[in-house]
Amino acid sequence: MESTRASRNAASWRLGTAATAALLLATCESPPSLLEQIKTTGELRVVTRNSPTTFYIGRDAVLGPEYDLARGFAARLGVDLRIYTADQFWQILPDVMTGRAHLAAAGLTVTPPRLDLVEFGPVYQRVEAQVIYKLGTGRPRTLRDLLGGRLEVVSGSSHAGLLERVRYREPLLTWIESPAADVEELVAKVASGEIDYTIVDSNEFAVTQHFYPEARVAFPLGPAGSLAWALPLGEDTSLREQVSAYFAELTASGELDRLLNRYYYYAGDFDYVGSRAFVRHFDARLPRYREYFMEAEETTGIDWRLLAAMGYQESHWNPDAVSPTGVRGIMMLTETTAAMVGVADRVDPRLSILGGAQYFTRVLRKIPERIAEPDRTWLALAAYNIGFGHLEDARILTEIAGKNPDDWEDVREHLPLLSQKKWYQRTRRGYARGWEPVYYVDNVRRYYDMLEWMTAGDSMDPIILEPVQELASR
């Protein structure tokens, strides 16, 4: 049982408290340990935050390194995980201190002020606080270079405390602490020129920097920091001992490194342009699979070149492609998607292509028919990448802004807002990597245009046709 609703967690907290009180009255013995309370209620309560390095809802699953770690720990204890997100960053530690949450798994940096409030578990990742600036505005190299600029950080974050500790070096240094902003929003504001600087942990910037190419690292601020789970202070060490044992096992087995790599491989390995590589693969790889893409067109009515463009964006037409997150094959299908469209072998090129085409037709059917082409196709591609629910959230935000939710360019402008707290907290499904479908659609369109040009004269069919039949189970 898992839930991101704080209200449900509050109810669970009250039930857990009642169960603990009943246990005390029944036994008249010493109070049960925190670990015993968790096992009695059968539930581990964890507070986190919405971000790509902690917890978010993906296309067909809940994702995030902190979520995966918390889920594994709950399984180790033999209890259910109830995870929820704090409304504001500064609320995370108070939830642990009051017992509303048993622990916080939220990408928290261990700092001296925080050690007065909570205990921390083992360090599982080292990060560096980095000053971020906009390319072309002059790279600052010291704190003095920040004077006179607009510097904004998240209120209650370790970066605000770090600035307080280093201000003795530059007493005139000033900054704004924003209680409603999150890291991605501040990076976006730097990239757009709305603010001059922000401070971001190196792991978070590694995930976002490719999508905000104008944002660059100026210099590190202070020594490297440590990320760890926050736990209640006190003499009761039962839960802390279990957390320590859990991380020791993950480290020894190498599973901790593998888990983190699932989420951080993307930052350095994602290839968006590669025009020369595309031409090379067009000659060397596509001829092997072209007949399967054309078969998929016959089955679904979707232009084979569009499907091929999707396949290139997904895997560079590599049937053996596999990502650290477990998606496989030319169309990089998840296990859930493969099962949905009846694909038993995701690395079989033909089945992967036919399955990916069938899944895309399912997504396309969800897009209202009133929407004209090619906008309907571009919206479907975005939904194929991020999930239909998140696309609907972006369309609602587009309409709220007075723009056209049926126009791809208007929706494209608002999709990245799903990664900014002040916007995604208004949506039904919360945080999403909203810049990802923007780049996905842009690249598929680019490859599609290239394929149309490189196959000119092969077919006089329209750009895209309405799907006409289901893929039979194979």
Q: What residues are annotated to the active site?
A: 314
Q: Which letter does DSSP use for residue 52 in this model?
A: T
Q: How far apart are CA 471 and CA 302, in angstroms?
A: 13
| Sign of the CA dihedral running 70, 71, 75, 76 | negative
- CB contact at 8 A, 44 and 37: no
- CB contact at 8 A, 129 and 222: yes
CA nearest to 358, candidates 346, 340, 378, 379:
340
- CB contact at 8 A, 204 and 260: no
Helices and strands (H and E) in the chain: how many: 20, 13
Angle at which helix 375-386 crosses helix 304-315, to 10 degrees, equals 30
Q: How far apart are CA 180 and CA 229, in angstroms?
A: 23
Q: Which two tokens stand for residue 185?
A: 């929003």
- CB contact at 8 A, 202 and 434: no
- CB contact at 8 A, 162 and 143: no
Q: In 99-182, which residue ranges form alpha helices assigned H by DSSP?
A: 112-115, 158-166
